[in-house]
Structure 1
């Protein structure tokens, strides 16, 4: 992405590219059942006077751009026209370009800018976690009505709760020693906490660190800052690249010493591995960090393949349904969560490759929440089709949303992270 050139922000050039790509999409329509961008686009064209793109006004493109959640699934799984095809079609990064143009013009909503500043909000919200969680609780109609009026957040959407303190303070001094009897003893990893695990939910991170240590990995916990995915969603490309600088400075020296970099959130692993190199293609340090970075499930599978896992895994009662998060799929390494869970004796996890519908912070907003539930409903139905005892997803934002989807279809279930099941199978975490 040549986002630092003036041509990138030229509105006439952007409009011409939007029209070129939208016309190709109109003639193909393979992505009709992905996110809501494509139904909006196709309805826009079908309802135009000519039934073609030539009678659609450019000002009407905005709802199509707004509905893209940057999941990359059209590019990765459906589109036959991605490079090296001569059409050179990359729908999600074109939507990103449109947002970057709008962001540069100052058109990003204040609340979206605010929510993207996770390292500004997180420390305050953890310090005031009691008050923050009370206001955002779905049962607090007064607080949620205020948030709806002030910030446009749908009062029905489950918002992330905040921990009492950041993970780096809560867990730093008590990371377990590596199991010297494990086949992988001697491996070293930096667990990149990510903003969600640092400020919101510690359970996935603590389960992951226990599993890695039990498998002989010497774990170091680091959180130099947010990966920038919330800012990427806003089109704030300068903000993303500026935020990458201190993270690279903090993590790359570990990689140079033979440490693996492990991220538990697929979106964050995707940023380090793919989006940063796309935005900073000439940066050798970004490239080196990208090559040292693993998604959590990918890392556990790598340990199993290269060394074998530590003894002690016990079967779990009941079936397992696995929602494959979009940003896990976008890393193009296969269903690693399923591979990981198959390491549990007698486990036969069922894979569901449908979008949860949440799309980062997109699904929280009034006007998006109903669509998010609608898009996620096929995934929800598939997840509970066999009435499994366990439902999991690697995306920490998709999990609570999928719980709301399952509530909506009358089959409520808790949704966990796959690493939590592995921790349970090892007896390292109490069932919840």
Structure 2
């Protein structure tokens, strides 16, 4: 048994098991729109055969990998293509060096609260063309890229003043963006859970570390993971489950903490951590979901984010939203929005991000919805930029149609 486990581990890490079927090339959003990126088959297992840890990296194009992980999901041989790409990207960036811009984009948890505290001023300045031009000149953040609005008070501050409903306790990992930029997503989550008889707890938490990992900063991501594990393991060992609303945060906690960072206790944490609608679907299956929904006569489009699909839990939000009377809900047939975390902010990658996003925009135009729904904060930001439409997290709609809620 032990020898078989070792063999399976060796197979998964050995690039030679790639059968060259090119299935991954068909789903890669980047190689589809630019010849600058040779695609996951070539940048992952193809190039891995020629890489040597002692030799300088020549894989400059690997930095164009958007980190969607869609290639992993379709590989019939089980090659961890995105992991191979990330390791190659890490080596390349370690040798080349990372610009201050990338540090700034991956450490928003350090200054996001300041932007939120002075949100009227922050938002005003970030919309000024001269400020956006300066950001492009100094930091290479494309002046055409969408910048998020900051909101005040912080979600965590709002929660302190919120009168909790007594019930079975459940923990919420809300993430950086909800705390400073989309506070209503957090509010809606609390209200939906309370309407289903739960008392929401906000455990001590830090940035999940996903932005740092995406830039090859394994040490920074590991420190964040260790800090979160220290807190969150205490939560689940006290008898609570943990829910998340950001699919990127969830993917980091459930997959990368254990699979890539190999943090002790990661598997235990993953087994007790669930996407919000995955949890609500379980309530529905057991007959315990509050389905007293009022009608919502609106045409909406639903987009499944890359990291949600990578989690392999299906489309629970789409399933739950279909229960709402009068709601006309269509699923968008598109693979990626093009934002890729911080990918779409960068001047040298903005055009690629736009080309990727245009596929999604065309899919939205075909449906012609009034609103778009998606679980990923980056997708929401990008879709607003692409279409000008109202874009919400599914939980915000669910909160609004609940007849009985706080």
What TM-score, normalized by structure 1, do the two folds share?
0.80
User: Where does residue 330 of structure 1 map in the other structure?
Assistant: 310
> Using a 3 Å threshold, how does the CA distance of structure 1 residues 389 and 128 change in structure 2: closer, same or farther?
closer
Whether the aligned pair in 1 keeps the contact of 2:333 and 2:363 (CA below 8 Å) is: no
Q: 1:245 pairs with 222, 226, 249, which one?
A: 226
Confirm whether residue 344 of structure 1 aligns to residue 362 of structure 2: no
> Using a 3 Å threshold, how does the CA distance of structure 1 residues 376 and 428 change in structure 2: closer, same or farther?
farther
Confirm whether residue 375 of structure 1 aligns to residue 356 of structure 2: yes
> Using a 3 Å threshold, how does the CA distance of structure 1 residues 102 and 172 change in structure 2: closer, same or farther?
farther
1:416 shift after superposition? 0.9
- SS of the equivalent of 1:297 reads helix
1:345 shift after superposition? 2.7
Whether the aligned pair in 1 keeps the contact of 2:168 and 2:198 (CA below 8 Å) is: yes
| Partner Cα distance (2:398, 2:152) in 1 | 26
- SS of the equivalent of 2:269 reads helix
| Partner Cα distance (2:201, 2:280) in 1 | 16
User: Where does residue 31 of structure 1 map in the other structure?
Assistant: 25
> Using a 3 Å threshold, how does the CA distance of structure 1 residues 289 and 141 change in structure 2: closer, same or farther?
same
- SS of the equivalent of 2:367 reads coil
> Deviations for 1:316-372, whole angstroms, at most 9, x for unmatched residues?
112321100001101001111211212323445322242111100110111222221
User: Where does residue 59 of structure 2 map in the other structure?
Assistant: 61
User: Where does residue 3 of structure 1 map in the other structure?
Assistant: none
* CA RMSD, Structure 1 to Structure 2 (Å): 2.9
Whether the aligned pair in 2 keeps the contact of 1:154 and 1:369 (CA below 8 Å) is: yes
Confirm whether residue 80 of structure 1 aligns to residue 61 of structure 2: no
Confirm whether residue 264 of structure 1 aligns to residue 261 of structure 2: no
1:81 shift after superposition? 2.8
User: Where does residue 142 of structure 2 map in the other structure?
Assistant: 154
| Partner Cα distance (1:223, 1:392) in 2 | 29
User: Where does residue 398 of structure 1 map in the other structure?
Assistant: 379
Whether the aligned pair in 2 keeps the contact of 1:274 and 1:290 (CA below 8 Å) is: yes
1:206 shift after superposition? 0.6
| Partner Cα distance (1:91, 1:41) in 2 | 19
- SS of the equivalent of 1:191 reads strand
Q: Which runs of 5+ in 2 are unaligned?
A: 1-13, 40-45
In the TM superposition, what are the counterparts of 1:201-240 in structure 2 within 5 Å?
Answer: 201-240=182-221
Whether the aligned pair in 2 keeps the contact of 1:225 and 1:243 (CA below 8 Å) is: yes
Q: 1:290 pairs with 262, 270, 288, which one?
A: 270
How many aligned positions are there? 381
Whether the aligned pair in 1 keeps the contact of 2:112 and 2:180 (CA below 8 Å) is: yes
User: Where does residue 182 of structure 1 map in the other structure?
Assistant: none
1:246 shift after superposition? 1.9
Whether the aligned pair in 2 keeps the contact of 1:393 and 1:417 (CA below 8 Å) is: yes
Whether the aligned pair in 1 keeps the contact of 2:59 and 2:89 (CA below 8 Å) is: no
What TM-score, normalized by structure 2, do the two folds share?
0.85
